[in-house]
Structure formats: structure tokens, C-alpha cells
Amino acid sequence: MNTVIQTRGLEKRFGRVRALDGLDLDVEAGEVHGFLGPNGAGKSTTIRVLLGLIRSSGGSATVFGRDPWNDAVELHRRIAYVPGDVSLWPNLSGGEAIDLLTRLRGGMADKRAYLARREHLVEVFQFDPTKKGRAYSKGNRQKVALIAALATPADLYIFDEPTSGLDPLMEAVFRSEIATALDDGATVLLSSHILSEVEHLCDRVSIIRAGRTVEAGTLAELRHLTRTEISFAGDGIGTAQLDAIPGAHDLAVDGARVRFTADSDAMPEVLAALASLRATGVTVNPPSLEELFMRHYHDELEQPAASSLEGARR
């Protein structure tokens, strides 16, 4: 597969603050890559480096094999970008802003296709394009950028927390529109701090923290790092029998229920053991990124120093 985005040891300093501190990122052609991290981890900073809006202080970054700072304009012909917090021109209507952004991207070449696509997107996103920019809410401003980005084909879509202002219905619309773009062979980089969004959409994920990559891989690979949560009714089951369940961790008897976690790859043995115990009322919670996320960020909560990075995003 072709690498679309690659960074190695990427650094960005704002004065004394290190916003990026050795960030590695690989995005392959045709995939939806989730870029996960809490607020202030450096997601937006990375994206701005990849767009050549700011220059890295160290390390390397390439987009389509080219330098994002020197070849910014050339690269932007292939990229559609939706910022996390969309600002519009106060006296331009939403429709005007969409047309303007499309023209800037050269998307008016096939005007008829564009207009049809725009009309479709305006309808599915339930967007009123005749209001002035200042009158839109955060979600509606985001829709302007989303419609402009999706109305003309691009090779790479970069979304910075795209659904942070959208309701669940609009999130579903967004997902199906992304699917259409992927059918056309596009690549997507999607930053988020919402795990369910990433789990729904992404093939591979990079998790960053304090400007550094801490985990990267496919969802399946990452799930291997997490455990499945199991509980069942524990009536009449003795401690010895519980201890015999292979691969059980954090075993706890909570009133009438027994809870434990198991490594995801140990599940066949665990289920066999549960069957032999004739366990009833079994619930199995699939492995989620949540746990992984929490594990990586848990100690951050105990290090208030990291919160100073919040200021670095601005």
C-alpha cells in the first residue's frame, strides 16, 4: 500500500511549550485513519503542520511523498480540510461560503456535478444556506465546511473533530458520506477524542498523548491490548471453581454477580469454562478503546503539568 501521510519524530515548539514532541504517524492510501487524543494532545497542531499552515520545528513530515510546507499549494489541490472550530465570514451567507471554498479548490471545473452534489449534501445535512455566516451555530458552521469538503472529490480528507458540533442523526449522515468518498478511493485522516466515532469509522488508529504517539495499529490489534469484561450470576458457585477460570483478571464477587476481565485472545477458553460451570445471566462487554484510552491517560490526570499543553493549541 502507498503511504499518504508519514511523520517521523515530528516536533513543534511554541516558545517554550512543546506541542509536538516526536510524533510518528503513518496513514496508508484508502484507509480511514483515526487520530485519537484528549484536548491539547497536539492533534490540531499536527494537522496544521500537515497542511503547511505552520512549520515543524524538527523531525520529518510528508504528504503524498512531498513536503507540506514547501509544496503546500500543490498538495492542497488534492486535500479537503474541515477544521475543528469552523469560522465563517460574518457577512457571507453559508451558500456563498460553500461556493467560494469550492472555487478556491478548483472544484467548479465540473459545475453541473458540483451543483448536484451540493444540493444533495445541503439536503441530507438539512442545512439552510441562505443565512449569514454570523447567524450559524457551531454545528451549522461545521456543516458549511463539511459540505464544501465533500462536494468536490479529493484524494485526502482531513477532518479535525468533525462531529463535535453535530447531532447523532447528522453524525450518521456524515458516516455515510464518508463511505461514498472511500468508494472513490479517498484516504481519510480523522481526529477525535470520541472513541465510539473512531470505532465506527476507522480502519487504523494512532493514539497520541502530549505530542507523542503512544499506540498505533488496526482496531483488532489494539483490541488485543484491551480486555473483555464478563459477568454472570454467581449463585452456588464456589471460590475454587471461580479460580479455575483460565485467564481471568480482577475477579470480584459483587453481591449475587461475579465480574472479571479476560484477555481478548483468551476468550475461547473462558467461554468453555463458563459453559462447564453452567453459568447463567452471562453478559460479555466487547473490548473497547475506552479502556486503552483510560490506561494511557490515567497517569496524565495525576500530572497536572501536561495541562499546560492546552495553551499550545491556540
Q: Which residues bind another protein (CB under 8 A)?
A: 48, 51, 53-55, 72-74, 76-77, 79, 81, 83, 85-101, 103-106, 129-132, 134-135, 145, 314
Of the two residues 104 and 113, which places its CB atom closer to another protein in the complex?
Answer: 104
Q: Which of 172, 171, 154, 153 is nearest to 162 (CA)?
A: 171
- Smallest distance from another protein to CB 20, Å: 13
- Smallest distance from another protein to CB 103, Å: 5
Neighbours of 288 (CB within 10 A): 17
Of the two residues 98 and 173, which places its CB atom closer to another protein in the complex?
Answer: 98
φ and ψ at residue 182, rounded to 5 degrees: -65, -35
Of the two residues 124 and 214, which places its CB atom closer to another protein in the complex?
Answer: 124
Q: Say if CB 133 and CB 97 are below 8 A apart.
A: yes
Of the two residues 61 and 101, which places its CB atom closer to another protein in the complex?
Answer: 101
Task: Return the residue matching grid coordinates 516536533.
Answer: 11
CA distances from 248 to 256, 265, 279 (A): 18, 12, 15
Of the two residues 118 and 227, which places its CB atom closer to another protein in the complex?
Answer: 118
Of the two residues 73 and 240, which places its CB atom closer to another protein in the complex?
Answer: 73
Measured CA to CA, the distance from residue 121 to residue 129 in angstroms comes to: 11
- Smallest distance from another protein to CB 191, Å: 14
Measured CA to CA, the distance from residue 117 to residue 93 in angstroms comes to: 19
- Residues in CB range of 151: below 8 A, 6 or more apart: 98, 102, 107, 114, 117, 118, 121
- Smallest distance from another protein to CB 160, Å: 10
Q: Which of 171, 181, 192, 196 is nearest to 151 (CA)?
A: 181
* Beta strand segments in 68-135, E: 79-82
Give the cell for residue 174: 456524515
Of the two residues 85 and 221, which places its CB atom closer to another protein in the complex?
Answer: 85
- Smallest distance from another protein to CB 88, Å: 7
The three-class DSSP label of residue 141 is helix
Of the two residues 53 and 214, which places its CB atom closer to another protein in the complex?
Answer: 53
Residue 160 burial class via C-beta count within 10 angstroms: exposed 0-12, middle 13-18, buried 19 and up: buried
